[in-house]
Amino acid sequence: MISFLKVGWVLAILVAGSLLVMSTAAEEKNAKTLFEARCSMCHSTDKPLGKTKTAEEWRQTVTRMTEHAAGKITAEEKETIIKYLTEIRGK
């Protein structure tokens, strides 16, 4: 009985870990898609992807760009884009 209980816990942990990894991968894919869709409205995505900045520098840049986009990027989308750029191109 204890063996089955241990196996059950191990399986539960593995499933939970897999779901977390899948969730994180899906979030990253969604963030990348959002970045590409919103930022390419005004310029190539090669421009920001060629830069490396701190989180604060990305915040300043994305804030400036959202002002140019005139309401086409929501506050939530802005935060997602900042987080995405910081993760993939952060200092």
The per-residue DSSP string of 1-58 comes to -HHHHHHHHHHHHHHHHHHHHHHHHHHHHHHHHHHHHHHTTTS-THHHHT--B-HHHH
Does residue 56 lie in a domain region? yes
Does residue 72 lie in a domain region? yes
Does residue 43 lie in a domain region? yes
Does residue 48 lie in a domain region? yes
How many structural domains comprise the chain?
A: 1
Does residue 3 lie in a domain region? no
Q: How far apart are alpha carbons 90 and 49 in whole angstroms? A: 10
Does residue 20 lie in a domain region? no
Q: How far apart are alpha carbons 79 and 60 in whole angstroms? A: 11
% of the chain surpassing 90 pLDDT: 66
List, for residues 16-60, the tens digit of each pLDDT value: 555 444 445 667 689 999 999 999 999 999 999 999 999 999 999
Task: Report the amino acid identity of residue 62.
Answer: V
Range of the domain at 46: 27-89
Does residue 17 lie in a domain region? no
pLDDT at 21: 46
pTM for this prediction: 0.71
